[in-house]
Structure 1
C-alpha cells in the first residue's frame, strides 16, 4: 500500500503573494523539489535500483509542471527524463560542467513551457568556473537555471535549482546571497521559481539571506510553504533516512517564488510504501497561480 500525507492550510489577508485557498485550475503551475539521493550510494535495500520506479511514480503522482532535483547523477537524470514523457531537461555535473558529479537537474512540461535560455553558475567567488568552490565549502556546489516562455501568456519564468554545501556554514550564507543577486540579474521582467536542498533550517542565516528584507530591498522570492502554513509546527522536517512518518528535524528543502505568484498550496509529500520512502528526503511541492 502506498500512503500519501499532504500538509495543507488555508489563510486569508496575507500580503502578496496571496494564498488563494482554492482548488487548482488549468492555469496553475505545480512545482516539485526533490533530493533523489545519488544513485551510487551504498544504501542496501534503499539502493537506487530498488527504489527508482517508486521515485518516478511519486513524481508522476503529483504531476509537476516544473521539477527540480538534487543529488542527481547523469543516469538518474536520464532515467527520469525517460519516465517523464513530454518534459524538457537540463542538468550538468557540478565537478566539470559536463557529466561528472551530481547535478541540479531541471525538468519542465513542454506543453506549458518553452525554454528560451538556460545555464549554470557555481556557488563560489568564480561562479563562471566549472567545478570551482570557495569559502569553507567541502565540495563544488552549483546552480542550474532556465528561462521559460509560458504558453498561456504572462511574464516569462526564471526557474532556478540548487543544492547548498552540507558542511560549510559560511559557504551556505554566501551561496544564498549570490543566488539572491543572480535572481535579480537573470530574472529581470520574469516571474521566479527557486527549488533546492539548502541544508539549512528556517532560523538560519542562509534562510534569512534568501527570504528576508535586506535594508530597503525586499527579497525577490518568498517561502511558498510558509505562506501556505504561516504557523510553524512540529514535524516539518524534510529528511527521512528512507523511513516513513513525520520528521521533527529541520525543513531544509524549500520552494521560493516571486511575489507576483499566488500560493495555492504548499506541501511536504510523505509518500511511503511498506514503511519506506522513495528517497532520504521528502519531496516538497507547491501550487502557484498568477
Structure 2
C-alpha cells in the first residue's frame, strides 16, 4: 500500500482538488462539491488523563483546525462526537455566526450528556428537519441499548441547498465502547434510519445520505461488517478512493498516550448505496502539531464528494 506521509503538524485543506465538475452533458448531470468531516473532539473532562490537556487549552487549537479544514469549502458538514453542551457553545462561538448546528444531549434533558452534533453553514444549507434518536430498542426516548454501558445516539438532519434546492441527509453518531451487541444492533438501526430518511420528507429526491461517527469498531468487528455488508446499502467512503490516494494517517484513534490504550481505526464516513455522488478524496488528518499538544484523542476524518444537483 502506498500512502502519502504527513509531516508533523500537516493538515488537509486547500491542497485538495474540490473544483466543480465539468459542465453537464446529456450523459453527465450537474454536480456540486461537498466536504464531510467526522471528528470526536473528546469531552471536556474535569479529570484529564496523563497526556491530556484541559479543554481551554485544546479549544482554540481544535476550532482553528475546524475553520481551516472547512475554509473554501462552503458546503461542508461537520459531524462531531463527544461534545458537552458547553463545548457546543464554544465551537459555535469560534466558528462564527455563519455556522449553525443541530443535535441534543443523550441524557434525559436536551442539554444533558454528550452530543453528536452536526455543524453547517446557514447561508449554504437550510435544515428542513432534524431529530436525535437513541441507539436502543426505544429510539424515540432516552435509553440504553442491549449491552451498552451508556446511552448512545445518532443525530440526523435533512438539508436543502439554498441556491439549488439539492437535498442531502447527514447523520452523526457515537457507538458504545463496551457493548458488542449494542454496536452491532446500532449499525442495523443506522442502516434502517438511513433508508427511512432517504425516502421520507416532502417527496423531493435526496442526492446523498452521509454518516460520520466514532463507531468504536475496527473493520474486523461485527458492527463495521454490518455497515458494509452487501445488503446494507452502505459503503465505507475510504473504500471508494484508491488507497494510493488516501491522504495522511490510517489510525483515527490515537489516545493521549495512555499505556493501556491501543491506537486503532474506529472513526468512519459512510455513504448510502446506490449512489450518484463521486467520492474524490479521503484523508485522516493530524491531531497534534509542533507543540505536541493533542487536540483530541481522535483524528479528523475528511472526504470530498461531487453530488448531483
- Report the counterpart of residue 225 of structure 2 in structure 1: 208
- Name the SS of the counterpart of 1:149 in structure 2: strand
Alignment counterpart, residue 253 of structure 1, candidates 245, 249, 267: 267
The more displaced of 252-261 and 65-74 is: 252-261
Aligned residue pairs, count: 268
- Name the SS of the counterpart of 2:181 in structure 1: helix
- Name the SS of the counterpart of 1:92 in structure 2: coil
Distance 1:280 1:229, change over 3 A: farther
- Report the counterpart of residue 4 of structure 1 in structure 2: 10
- Report the counterpart of residue 129 of structure 2 in structure 1: 117
Distance 1:6 1:228, change over 3 A: farther
Deviations for 1:255-286, whole angstroms, at most 9, x for unmatched residues? 11232211111100114222232100001111
- Name the SS of the counterpart of 2:129 in structure 1: strand
The answer on whether the counterparts of 1:192 and 1:221 sit within 8 Å (CA) in structure 2 is no
1:223 equivalent in alignment to 2:236: yes
- Report the counterpart of residue 186 of structure 2 in structure 1: 175
The answer on whether the counterparts of 1:235 and 1:249 sit within 8 Å (CA) in structure 2 is no
1:127 equivalent in alignment to 2:134: no
1:60 equivalent in alignment to 2:76: no
The more displaced of 164-173 and 103-112 is: 103-112
- Equivalent residue runs for 1:142-153 within 5 Å: 142-153=153-164
Alignment counterpart, residue 93 of structure 2, candidates 70, 82, 106: 82
Structure 2: any 5+ residue segments left out of the alignment? 1-6, 21-31, 200-204
| Post-superposition offset of 1:133 | 1.1
1:28 equivalent in alignment to 2:45: no
Normalising to structure 2: TM-score of the pair? Answer: 0.80
- Report the counterpart of residue 43 of structure 1 in structure 2: 48
| Post-superposition offset of 1:203 | 1.9
| Post-superposition offset of 1:154 | 6.1
- Name the SS of the counterpart of 2:60 in structure 1: helix
| Post-superposition offset of 1:73 | 0.1
The more displaced of 69-78 and 26-35 is: 26-35
The more displaced of 221-230 and 190-199 is: 221-230
| Post-superposition offset of 1:83 | 1.4
Normalising to structure 1: TM-score of the pair? Answer: 0.85
Alignment counterpart, residue 186 of structure 1, candidates 178, 194, 197: 197
Structure 1: any 5+ residue segments left out of the alignment? 8-21
- Report the counterpart of residue 120 of structure 2 in structure 1: 108
Separation (CA, whole Å) in 1 of partners of 2:249 and 2:167: 35
| Post-superposition offset of 1:6 | 5.3
